Amino acid sequence: MPVRSFSGIDPAALTVVGESEVGERRLRFGVLAGTPRLWITVQDQVPPVVGYLTGFDTRRIDLHVTEPDHLEWARPPGRAAQIKRAALDAWNRAHRTCEG
């Protein structure tokens, strides 16, 4: 089955819903209209897109690192869990803000 590439995502096009420090990197979590994902970017890294998370509707969150340059950073024990926790916190804060 063909797989759509996400390497062309423009971080400036994302609506940022939160930020968090994980593994000495300042992560930004953002959404893009029409894609059911929470994107992860870093401002001071090239490439800026780390990947995305899915599964917020089921609370079974999956982390997808789409840029090979960020794999080594994402692989240490516990790092994926830290990223998921930070993303879930950002997602929940954004929902509370939007719902008033």
Average pLDDT per run of 10 along the chain, which is 100 residues long? 54 94 96 89 92 90 93 96 96 79
Distance of alpha carbon 89 from alpha carbon 81, whole angstroms: 12
Question: Three-state DSSP class for 3?
Answer: coil
Cβ count within 10 A of residue 81: 11
Strand pairing class (62-65; 49-54):
antiparallel
Distance of alpha carbon 4 from alpha carbon 2, whole angstroms: 7
Q: What pLDDT sits at residue 1?
A: 29
What are the tokens at 41? 């970017």
